[in-house]
Every structure is written in structure tokens, then in C-alpha cells.
């Protein structure tokens, strides 16, 4: 059985926050956590938002501004 070493994981940048830094929504599952370790966002943000724009602009380091994030949140939030 593998021992979990929290201090070592934190030093290796293996920390996963509770919510996505892009959309601010809570991570739903293990897939979101794994996507965060790879691209620093949830699966939904990666598939629907970041990956298409990065490919379109040919800019692998693209990060959305606050206005783009707010528009994205409105688009994916359930209606009231």
C-alpha cells in the first residue's frame, strides 16, 4: 500500500483546490482533479473554453481575462 505524503505532494505541486480557478465552480469528480493537474482548470473549462481558443489562436499559454470568465459563467450557469 502506498503511503500518502501530503507535504511531499504540496512541494511537487500536486495540490488540487476545491474549485476551478477559471470558472470558480466546484470540482465535480476525479476527472476534474486530473485535468487541473494537467492544465490548471476543470474538464468543462478545458473542453468548452480553453482548448478551442488556444488552438484557434495557436497560443498554448492563453489565459482568459475576467470579462471572458464572467461571460463563460453566465453561459454555463443553469437558468433561474
> pLDDT digit string (tens) for 18-63?
999 988 889 999 999 999 999 889 999 888 888 887 788 788 777 7
Residue with the larger pLDDT of the pair 13 and 58: 58
Residue with the larger pLDDT of the pair 13 and 4: 13
Q: In this model, does residue 5 exceed pLDDT 80?
A: no
**Which of the four pLDDT bands, split at 50, 70 and 90, describes residue 2?**
very low
For residue 6, what pLDDT is reported?
47
User: How far is it, in rounded angstroms, from Cα 80 to Cα 74?
Assistant: 11
| Domain boundary assignment for the chain | 17-76
Is 0.85 surpassed by the pTM of this model?
A: no
Backbone φ and ψ of 11, nearest 5°:
-70, -30
The dihedral through the CA atoms of 70, 74, 78, 80 has a sign that is: positive
Amino acid at each position: 500500500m502506498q503511503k500518502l505524503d501530503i507535504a511531499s505532494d504540496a512541494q511537487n505541486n500536486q495540490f488540487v483546490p476545491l474549485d476551478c480557478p477559471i470558472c470558480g465552480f466546484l470540482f465535480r469528480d476525479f476527472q476534474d482533479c486530473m485535468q487541473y493537474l494537467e492544465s490548471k482548470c476543470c474538464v468543462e473549462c478545458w473542453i468548452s473554453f480553453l482548448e478551442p481558443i488556444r488552438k484557434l489562436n495557436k497560443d498554448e499559454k492563453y489565459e482568459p481575462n475576467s470579462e471572458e470568465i464572467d461571460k463563460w459563467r453566465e453561459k454555463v450557469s443553469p437558468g433561474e
